[in-house]
Amino acid sequence: MTLTRQEGVLCHCCDCAVAAAVPVSAPRGRKLAALQLRRRLRQQLLLALVALFLFGFNTVTAEGEDEDGPYRGKYLGKLNSYHHQVSGDVYAVNEYTFLLVGFNYDGNGADTFFWSGASNRPGPQGFIVPDEYGKTNILDRYHNKDFTLTLPDRKKMTEIKWLAVYDLNNQNNFGDVYIPEEFEPPRTQIGGTFSKRNHNVSSSSIEILDSKTIRIKDFTYDGRGKRTFFWTGVGAQPSSRGSKIPDERGYLDPIRAYNKETIMLELPGDKTIFDIDWISIYDVADNENYGHVLIPDGLNVPPSLVKITPYEFSLPNCRQLHKDLQVSWEVFGPQITFQLSGQVAKTDYMSFGISGSDVSSQMIGADVVVAYIDDIRGYTVDYNITSLAPCVQVLGQNKGVCRDDVVGGLDSFQLNTYARKDGINTISFRRTLKSSDDGDKEIFLDRSNYVVWAFGQLDSNNEPAFHTYYPKSDIIIDFNTTEPVNDCFSFTKRAETPVQIWERARITDASVRTFNAYLGPSGGLRGYQGITGHVSSGLAWYINGYMIPELYLKRGLTYTFKVRGGNNPHSPEHYHPLVITDDPQGGYDRLSDAKQSEIRVLAGVEFTRRGRPKPTAAGPLCLSRYPDHYDRRLDDNFPTFKKFNRSLINICSDEPPALLEITPNITWPDTVYYNSFTHGNMGWKIHIVDSYTKLRNAGHSLATTWLTTLTALLMPLAL
């Protein structure tokens, strides 16, 4: 039967069209209806998926778990706000610590504290959680502040049910967040061990302490690779497409040999454990993996609380020299502009320059800039290095680490800008590629340049003291690249822990009248610098086997110093007559006439008819030195001076020592200092006393009487 076509009526109910008297067959109509139904279902499903996506996105954003943001730990939730504008996000850093982000409180509560407990809801049964400073004071006003709270008495997050802002006087809860049941707070995770492939690489299980820090126990590597680094990246296996991890001291040089040592590695810049798949001992020269460990996914570890400061540079090229030092540059015509950026102390200098050798990175003969900022302005000073010693006069000529203008040269660096921000010094300057000063090294564009760098403390004269950080391997830079090069990353800084200095030695035995004085290394931050608080020149006086002991001498008694500090005035490093003055710094010969006139010389110096000082106690050289191929940057690895001293080798002349005889009298100050005539910061205190009785009663001596006496008797035989 055939239907005739008539007017159709369109119905919008349920988005379907109902045709009236449409001239089509019944089966075709059913197919069309089914097709329209499928389209409607697809549209509804699509809308549902979009809604779910938007809901999920908003939920993630609300919970602060946006993957693009920094990892802060395990999210607990937003503070439920009841009164006094309490708000903020709360994270679990570890099982003892909360992180509050964007915390607000108007400060108008009468007796308000951070409050926690194990009851079902906040109430009077609980305990005070100390504030971000560890205090239990009444809370003040907070505005959008980020900080951590640590539960007291080693209480754990799993032992409580809530954290609140609570008023004890009114027993009123201003805001709270609840700890979910069976909550697992972030904690240190145990990983695998380094696979044993080559060069004796091995370890115990690694410990992932937080999102940036890995502890490797019993780590071993024989140090015989060509250019081997701690290396990290992504993928199933280590490959050349990775990047360096600074070693345990922040260096980016090829790593040294290790023998079952425990070391801590910090991932560089803003990189976290969630950004990597493996850590390898990798030789980039041969593209060979000597051993690696895989990093598991989904680690529930504490967030790293290190401070991350993005690097800022305006020049196109940048090279990371150390975790805390960067150099950037740009060549324009016959000039090159540099920028040094360093995470250094206010009194520190940064140094960078062209090596003294064309085939290696060598300090001797190097042409460097020393850049620093004082309370007023920035400085870039041109230095020439002729020996590894402070600048001293040797037979009328200045030798050592000397400014160019002191040795007859020119200061070739022109300061551009300087700034100190967030603990980072940034200094830019320029010089010509080929200087008119014969003492300056040329910067080549047609080949690579060997460079040197260092940073450390300035002495009291704003001269560079012995550098704290410096490389031990060759550093090569091509300043004329066709494409910009940049391997720099953000600066990181964690809370500093005080350095445990070595024991302070005191010699108080009244029977000891002879002191054997010779030279030895100053021993890093635990040694001379830690004991005295002064910068070091690299060497220190050793007295009767101790590094810079404090001596207690009685007025009216005569004492003899047997001096073996070097008697060759041609040597800028090893010419150290002993002097005793009232100046704690020493280096009397380096001082100006005006400065010398302010110092009282008590022994070791006589004056010529023209008033020039002349040392009287310059003896042959006796030196406790490092073994061959030792890295003195490892001095602080020794827990005690005794163990450090045992690692040294004594090299002493057969010549008899110079004798310095003194008899302190009533005119001597209560405290004087033994030091070097030529170099500053090598000695320490002599206490002038009227009686030893009080000293014995107070128990000042660290060594027993028999040991001190025995050392004094045996030292001349050993030397």
The arithmetic mean of pLDDT across residues 270-286, rounded, is 96
Listed range (64-78, 205-219, 229-243, 364-378) with the worst mean pLDDT: 64-78
pLDDT at 718: 44
**What would the two tokens of residue 395 be?**
């037979």
Which of 197, 322, 351 is closest to 248 using CA atoms? 322
CA-CA distance, 181 to 189, in Å (whole number)? 21
pLDDT at 64: 36
Tell me the CA distances in angstroms from 301 to 187, 213, 506, one per residue in order: 5, 10, 47
pLDDT at 44: 56
**């009194």: which residue's tokens?**
347
Question: Higher model confidence: residue 469 or residue 460?
Answer: 469
Reply yes or no on whether the pLDDT at 649 is more than 70.
Answer: yes
Listed range (268-272, 388-392, 694-698) with the worst mean pLDDT: 694-698
**3-state class (DSSP) for residue 700:** coil
Query: What is the distance in angstroms between the CA of the first residue and the CA of the last residue of the chain?
Result: 130
Listed range (6-20, 324-338, 476-490) with the worst mean pLDDT: 6-20
pLDDT at 416: 96
Which of 343, 422, 426 is closest to 378 using CA atoms? 426
Which of 385, 403, 713 is closest to 573 using CA atoms? 385
Contacts of 673 (CB under 8 A, 6+ apart): 580, 581, 582, 583, 584, 586, 683, 684, 685, 686
Neighbours of 637 (CB within 10 A): 14
pLDDT at 244: 97
The arithmetic mean of pLDDT across residues 404-420, rounded, is 92
User: Among residues of the chain, what percentage have pLDDT more than 90?
Assistant: 77
The arithmetic mean of pLDDT across residues 20-44, rounded, is 47
- DSSP element (H, E) containing 265: strand 258-266
DSSP 8-state class, residue 633: G
Mean pLDDT over each residue of the chain, to the nearest integer: 88
Residue type at 197 in one-letter notation: R
Question: Higher model confidence: residue 3 or residue 538?
Answer: 538
Residue type at 146 in one-letter notation: D
Q: What is the pTM assigned to this prediction?
A: 0.82
Reply yes or no on whether the pLDDT at 495 is more than 90.
Answer: no
pLDDT at 69: 73
**What would the two tokens of residue 617 be?**
């106690």
Listed range (48-57, 130-139, 324-333) with the worst mean pLDDT: 48-57
CA-CA distance, 440 to 436, in Å (whole number)? 8
pLDDT at 497: 82
Per-residue pLDDT reduced to its tens digit, 593-640: 999 999 999 999 999 888 889 999 999 999 999 999 899 999 999 999
Listed range (312-316, 504-508, 525-529, 598-602) with the worst mean pLDDT: 312-316
Per-residue pLDDT reduced to its tens digit, 542-589: 999 999 999 999 999 999 999 999 999 999 999 999 999 999 999 999
Reply yes or no on whether the pLDDT at 22 is more than 90.
Answer: no
